[in-house]
Amino acid sequence: MTPTPALYSPGNLVKARGREWIVLTGSDAETLRLRPVSGSEEDVALVYLPLELEPVEAARFPMPTPTQVAGHDAALLLRDALLLSLRRGAGPFRSFGQIAVEPRAYQLVPLMMALKLDPVRLLIADDVGVGKTIEAGLIAREMLDRGEVERLTVLCPPHLTDQWVQELEQRFHIKAEPVTSAGAGRLERDLPPGVSIFSVHPHTVVSLDYIKSEKRRADFLRACPELVIVDEAHTCAATTQGRHQRYELLRGLAEQPMAGGRGRHLILLTATPHSGDDEAFHRLLGLLHPDFAGLSELDGQHPARERLRARLGAHFVQRRRPDIEEWREGRLFPVRESAEIAYRLSGEWDRFFTDVLRYCASAMKADAGAGRFYSTLSLMRCASSSPAAAVLALRGKMGEEIGPEEREELLDRLFDGSGEAMSEEDTVPAVGAEEARLQALVVQAERLSGQAGDPKLKALTDHLQQLLKDGFNPVVFCRYIATAHYLYRALRDRFHDEKKELRVEVVTGELTAGERRERVAALDTAGQRLMIATDCLSEGINLQGSFDAVVHYDLSWNPTRHEQREGRVDRFGQRSPKVRTTLMYGADNPVDGAVLEVIIRKAERIRKELGVPVPLPDNGQTLIQTLLKAILLRGDQAGGAATQVGLFPALREVNEIEVQWTNAAQKAKQNRTIFAQRTLKPADVLPEWQRTLAAVGGQAEVQRFVERALARLGSGAELQRRGCWKVPTAPLPLEVRERLELEGLEGTIQIDYEHPPRGQAQTIQRSHPLVTVLAEFLLERSLSGEEGAESAGSGRVGCWISAGVKARTTVVLLRLRHQLVRQKGRQAERLLMAEEASAVAWTGAGAGAGTAEGEDALRLMLEPPAGEPPGPVQAREIARALEQVELRTADLDAFAQARAAALLADHERVRGAARESGSYEVRALLPVDVIGVFVLMPKV
Strands (E), 82-138: 121-124
Q: Name, in order, each residue with C-beta under 8 angstroms of 688's C-beta and a sequence gap of 6 or more.
A: 92, 93, 108, 112, 909, 910
Q: Tell me the whole-structure pTM to 2 decimals.
A: 0.80
The answer to whether residues 463 and 582 touch, using CB atoms and an 8 Å cutoff, is: yes
Give the pLDDT score at 642.
36
**Angle between the 513-522 and 161-172 helix axes, to the nearest 10 degrees?**
60
Instruction: Yes or no: say if 595 and 623 are a contact pair by the CB < 8 Å rule.
Output: no
The predicted pLDDT at position 417 comes to 46
The CA distances from residue 813 to 396, 537, 562, in Å, are 75, 50, 55
Q: Please, which residues have CB within 8 angstroms of residue 306's CB and are 6 or more apart in sequence?
A: none
Positive or negative torsion for Cα 842, 844, 847, 849: negative
pLDDT at residue number 610? 62
pLDDT of residue 333: 82
DSSP string, 249-305: HHHHHHH---GGGPPPEEEEE-S-S-SS-HHHHHHHHHTT-HHHHGGGGS-TT-HHH
Between helix 387-397 and helix 370-385 the angle, nearest 10°, is: 150
CA distance 854 to 888: 17
Q: Which residue type, as a one-letter code, is found at position 560?
A: T
| pLDDT of 3 | 37
How far is residue 118 from each of residues 55, 282, 891, measured CA to CA in Å? 43, 21, 39
Q: Are strands 335-343 and 316-317 parallel, antiparallel or unpaired?
A: unpaired
Q: What is the pLDDT of residue 671?
A: 59
- Closest to 11 (Cα-Cα) out of 903, 908, 910: 903
Q: What span, in angstroms and rounded, lies between the C-alpha atoms of 584 and 562? A: 12
Quote the CA–CA distance of 714 and 722 in Å, as a whole number. 24
User: What's the pLDDT score for residue 231?
Assistant: 94
Task: Name the residue among 369, 385, 455 with its Cα closest to residue 420.
Answer: 385
Whole-Å CA distances, 608 to 101, 544, 613, 665, 669: 31, 22, 8, 11, 12
Predicted local distance difference test score (pLDDT) of residue 488: 95
Report the C-alpha dihedral over residues 560, 561, 564, 569, rounded to 10 degrees: -130
Asked if 122 and 317 count as a contact pair (C-beta separation under 8 A), the reply is yes
Q: Is residue 173 left, alpha or beta, with left meaning phi > 0 and alpha meaning psi from -120 to 50?
A: left
DSSP assignment of 199-224 equals HH-SEEEEEHHHH-SHHHHHHHHHH-
Query: What is the phi/psi pair of residue 203, to 5°?
Result: -125, 125
Largest CA distance in the chain: 108
Dihedral sign computed on CA atoms, order 421, 423, 424, 427 = negative
Strands of the 718-719 sheet, one edge to the other: 718-719, 725-728, 748-752, 762-763
pLDDT along the chain (940 residues), means of 10: 56 83 84 78 82 86 90 92 80 81 86 90 88 94 88 92 91 92 82 86 93 84 93 80 76 81 89 74 89 72 75 87 71 85 90 88 68 72 90 73 50 51 46 73 87 90 95 94 93 81 90 86 85 86 89 86 87 87 89 78 70 60 67 52 44 60 63 55 75 77 92 88 86 93 91 81 88 89 62 76 93 92 66 88 71 90 93 95 94 94 84 60 91 93
3-state secondary structure of 432: coil
Sheet containing strand 203-207, edge to edge, reads 177-179, 203-207, 152-156, 227-230, 265-269, 121-124, 316-317
On the 0-12 / 13-18 / 19+ scale of CB atoms within 10 A, 862 is middle
The sheet that has 578-586: what strands, in order across it? 335-343, 578-586, 549-552, 474-477, 528-533, 502-507
DSSP for 880-929 reads HHHHHHHHTHHHHHHHHHHHHHHHHHHHHHHHTT-GGG-EEEEEE-SS-E
State the helix-helix crossing angle for 434-449 and 387-397, rounded to 10 degrees.
Answer: 160
